């Protein structure tokens, strides 16, 4: 009969050899030689079994194990057990909310007898898991070890990242979860990963947990309309770091500006957003400025910015409020036909996505004869308006040789919601090209596509670029 020490060491050695199922089989075969109390009081054995179950991806069985042996996680629990439990929580949350589970036996029953059958709450809701994480975090912070700090960082990241990647993040959840952390409890250290950019492997530095906390917190406050708190914490963020990642300083400045707008200071907002736009030429900043100019009855500037925004990178389905604004602008320009078309396209996109149609859009459509709306060919509306928007784009200076060339798409660097870019080849020379997602020819552009293009000369320190005019065939 092995001693409890020998029993525990045998399991540890098997885990060290990554023989997780062997370790679990050995535990099942020999555990009856020891009392439940002996097992529960051995922090090394408990933590090793939890780790083993996690690494074997038998996550639900890990929670069963704790329940069966009456092991509670509280301020009296040893760090080794708390951290093993924390990594189990992390894996469970990640597998259910980031779709990363590779388990072949996610519903594995640790024991065949009744004590190990999956209990009623094996399938935890997201709120259940978050509640457990929120209870655990202050316990981990209290330990203040490198192991606990690493775990806190990973729990912080997995919850917030899982919300961020969703089409409709729960910003209330993000805000409330951030409140379980003080920013000075989070690390300022930055890690580095390797990414592939334009065919080359490059090092990319990631933001620290503390910087990420400010990014998540201020964005959630903005989404929830908590403008004063958002203003204060955005200002705090700008003073907290000497350098920023992912243009976070720009986004903090934007949130400061939008907070001012919603707190009644539109003058400063326009000035600050114009400055931000010069640094970050994004469609939603153009749209926000267009709204402000529209409110100030500067319809020409509002129109200019709205056209720039609709032609800028970004999926059309995200621009439904911009389409509404453009409809309002055309009303001010006494162009009822174009106003109706923009209102109708906004409504069409909302309907196709299953989104609610706001009352303000319903009200604007009611101002037009219902028969007029019925006469609009919905199938062709999007294509018609895309061509119209493109026609309003300010033309660049013509190249010295304005002849059109024929080439073949050689490589795509990006193909995403912003559009496509890459290289095309003509007469043994390669040209860089870029097209917006809203450009009517974009869906036809692919590797080996034959295109007619013009070469726009280099300006303002930028390299020459190919402007695609049409796709052949």
Residue 271 sits in the same domain as residue 311: no
The predicted structure's pLDDT at residue 395: 59
Full residue range of the structural domain in which residue 417 is found = 405-471
Report if residue 399 sits inside a domain: no
> Roughly how many angstroms between the first and final C-alpha of the chain, as a whole number?
80
Longest dimension (CA), the chain: 93
In the chain, the number of structural domains is 4
pLDDT band of residue 108 (cuts 50, 70, 90) is very low
Residue 12 sits in the same domain as residue 111: yes
Residue 301 sits in the same domain as residue 273: no
Contacts of 167 (CB under 8 A, 6+ apart): none
Q: Looking at 372, 394, 416, which one is the last position of a domain?
A: 394
Judge residue 159's burial from the number of C-beta atoms within 10 Å of its C-beta, 0-12 exposed, 13-18 middle, 19 or more buried: buried
User: Which whole number is the average pLDDT over 166-173?
Assistant: 89
Residue 79 sits in the same domain as residue 118: yes
The predicted structure's pLDDT at residue 104: 40
Tell me the residue ranges of DSSP E strands in 322-400.
Answer: none
Report if residue 88 sits inside a domain: yes
Q: Where is pLDDT greater, at 177 or 100? A: 177
Residue 104 sits in the same domain as residue 219: no
Q: Looking at 333, 363, 394, which one is the last position of a domain?
A: 394
Residue 162 sits in the same domain as residue 13: yes
- Half-sphere exposure (Cβ direction) of 324: Cα atoms closer than 13 Å: 20
> Domain with 243 in it: what CATH number?
1.25.40
Residue 142 sits in the same domain as residue 19: yes
Return the H-helix or E-strand segment holding 277: helix 266-279
**Residue 368 in contact with residue 327, Cβ under 8 Å?**
no
CA distance 36 to 310: 66
Q: Looking at 369, 394, 419, which one is the last position of a domain?
A: 394
Report if residue 183 sits inside a domain: no
Report if residue 285 sits inside a domain: no
| pLDDT above 50 for 117 | no
In degrees, rounded to 5, the angle at the alpha carbon of residue 468 between the alpha carbons of residues 465 and 472 is 145
Report if residue 171 sits inside a domain: no
Residue 133 sits in the same domain as residue 254: no
Report if residue 287 sits inside a domain: no
Report if residue 189 sits inside a domain: no
- Give me the residue label for tokens 């059958």: 117
Residue 142 sits in the same domain as residue 25: yes
Tell me what the pLDDT averaged over the chain comes to.
88
State how far the alpha carbon of 56 is from the alpha carbons of 50, 103, 141, in Å.
10, 8, 27
The strand pair at 429-436 and 450-456 is best described as unpaired
CA distance 354 to 367: 24
Residue 14 sits in the same domain as residue 110: yes
Report if residue 182 sits inside a domain: no
Q: Tell me phi and psi for residue 101, to 5 degrees.
A: -65, 135
**What's this model's pTM, rounded to 2 decimal places?**
0.73
pLDDT in tens, 6-34: 999 999 999 999 999 999 999 999 999 99
Residue 19 sits in the same domain as residue 156: yes
The predicted structure's pLDDT at residue 458: 65
The predicted structure's pLDDT at residue 89: 96
> Domain with 429 in it: what CATH number?
2.40.50.140
pLDDT in tens, 286-313: 999 999 999 999 999 999 999 999 999 8
The predicted structure's pLDDT at residue 121: 40
State how far the alpha carbon of 189 is from the alpha carbons of 83, 107, 151, 186, in Å.
21, 38, 14, 9
User: Which whole number is the average pLDDT over 165-184?
Assistant: 91
> For the chain, what percent of residues have pLDDT higher than 70?
91
CA distance 316 to 10: 60
Q: Where is pLDDT greater, at 445 or 373? A: 445
Residue 390 sits in the same domain as residue 410: no
């Amino acid at each position: 009969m092995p001693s409890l020490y020998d029993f525990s060491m045998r399991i540890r050695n098997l885990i060290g050899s990554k023989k997780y199922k062997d370790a679990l089989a050995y535990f099942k075969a020999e555990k009856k030689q020891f009392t439940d109390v002996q097992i529960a009081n051995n922090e090394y054995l408990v933590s090793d079994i939890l780790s083993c179950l996690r690494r074997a991806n038998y996550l639900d069985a890990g929670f069963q194990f704790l329940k069966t042996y009456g092991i509670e996680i509280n301020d009296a629990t040893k760090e080794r057990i708390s951290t093993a439990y924390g990594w189990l929580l992390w894996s469970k949350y990640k597998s259910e909310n980031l779709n990363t589970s590779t388990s072949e036996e996610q519903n594995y029953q640790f024991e065949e007898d009744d004590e190990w059958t999956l209990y009623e709450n094996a399938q935890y809701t997201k709120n259940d898991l978050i509640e457990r994480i929120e209870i655990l975090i202050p316990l981990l912070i209290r330990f203040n070890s490198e192991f606990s700090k690493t775990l806190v960082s990973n729990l912080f990241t997995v919850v917030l990242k899982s919300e961020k990647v969703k089409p409709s993040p729960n910003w209330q959840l993000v805000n409330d979860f951030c409140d379980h952390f003080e920013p000075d409890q989070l690390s300022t250290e930055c890690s580095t990963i390797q990414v592939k950019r334009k065919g080359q492997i490059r090092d990319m530095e990631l933001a620290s947990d503390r910087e990420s906390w400010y990014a998540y917190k201020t964005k959630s406050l903005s989404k929830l309309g908590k403008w004063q708190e958002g203003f204060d914490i955005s200002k705090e963020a700008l003073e907290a770091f000497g350098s920023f990642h992912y243009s976070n300083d720009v986004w903090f400045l934007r949130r400061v500006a939008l907070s001012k707008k919603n707190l009644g200071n539109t003058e400063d907002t326009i000035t600050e957003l114009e400055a931000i736009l010069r640094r970050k030429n994004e469609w939603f900043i153009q749209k926000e400025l267009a709204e402000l100019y529209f409110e100030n009855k500067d319809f020409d500037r509002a129109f200019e910015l709205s056209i720039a925004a609709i032609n800028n990178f970004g999926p059309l389905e995200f621009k439904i409020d911009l389409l509404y604004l453009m409809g309002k602008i055309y009303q001010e320009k006494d162009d009822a036909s174009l106003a109706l078309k923009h209102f109708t396209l906004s409504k069409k996109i909302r309907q196709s996505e299953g989104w609610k149609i706001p009352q303000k859009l319903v009200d604007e459509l009611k101002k037009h004869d219902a028969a007029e709306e019925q006469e609009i060919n919905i199938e062709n509306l999007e294509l018609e308006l895309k061509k119209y928007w493109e026609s309003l784009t300010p033309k660049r200076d013509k190249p010295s040789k304005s002849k059109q060339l024929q080439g073949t798409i050689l490589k795509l660097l990006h193909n995403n919601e912003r559009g496509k870019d890459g290289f095309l080849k003509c007469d043994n020379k390669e040209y860089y090209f870029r097209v917006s997602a809203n450009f009517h020819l974009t869906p036809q552009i692919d590797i080996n596509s034959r295109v007619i293009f013009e070469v726009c000369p280099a300006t303002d320190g930028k390299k020459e670029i190919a402007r695609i005019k049409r796709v052949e065939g």
